Structure 1
Amino acid sequence: MPPNDGNTLYSQLRHRLIESGDWEQIRIMLNSKLNESGWTDDIRHRSKERARNMDPLSYQTLLEEIRTHAQTSIPLAVKREATTLIRQNLEKHIALFYKMTLAGLTKEYYAKYMEGLKLHCTAMQRTRSSKFLPL
């Protein structure tokens, strides 16, 4: 798949997730689970401590330092649950996307088939008519 096709699919799926409310559902679940596990408080505490000790204080530097720890310290159970929910939603939307695509192709194919059939019937009628025309 060319890179543009992947980007297009990603943006279409993201748009569908947002429109359906599934994106918000995933965000709420992830936020809730990270709060329950204490991850959010840990990151907040580490950020405050690092900011107090940083001279000069730099948001970009603080973000870079905290980001690595934040990404690697997400509890495995939370990762698994979030991944499962994301996968379920993506499978649902991909299936819907392909059904719509196939339905569109089927409609297009059917329209072309009917158009071809009409042309064929018209040609047959002309041929039959010309056989019976007097010379």
Structure 2
Amino acid sequence: MSSKDDELIQTSLNARLIETGERERLRQMLQMKLIECGWAKKVNDKCIEIVQKRGFENVTVDDLVDELVPKSRAIVPDYIKKELLDQFRLFLSKQNDLF
């Protein structure tokens, strides 16, 4: 498969996720699980820590995003990643007409 084919499949899959409502369902599931496991609080606390350390006037949203995104992704529990991946694979297995 060429990168063009991969891009077409990715675009089609993303469209299907949106049109079926699966993207929103997965987003809500992920959000709920991240809150339940304390991840959201950890990220919020880290954000507050950064702002307090640097001073409100000295921090931009871009600064926060640049610092928080890699750390935040790294602390997502593996069981949540696995569950999301399993749900995505299940959805994908039902999309025979995409390929």
- TM-score, L = length of structure 2: 0.89
State the shift of 1:32 in Å: 0.8
Gaps of 5+ in 1: 99-135
Give the equivalent residue in structure 2 for 1:53.
53
Gaps of 5+ in 2: none
Which stretches of structure 1, 4 residues or longer, exceed 4 Å deviation after superposition? none
User: SS of 1:86's equivalent?
Assistant: helix
Give the equivalent residue in structure 2 for 1:76.
78
State the shift of 1:59 in Å: 2.1
Bigger relative contact order, structure 1 or 2, given CA contacts below 8 A and separation 6+?
Answer: 2
Give the equivalent residue in structure 2 for 1:96.
97
Report the residue type matching 2:47 in the other structure: S
Q: Percent identity?
A: 27
Q: Using the alignment, how far apart are the partners of 1:19 and 1:4 within structure 2?
A: 22
User: SS of 2:94's equivalent?
Assistant: helix
Q: Using the alignment, how far apart are the partners of 1:67 and 1:97 within structure 2?
A: 32
- TM-score, L = length of structure 1: 0.67
Higher Cα radius of gyration: 1
Give the equivalent residue in structure 2 for 1:44.
44
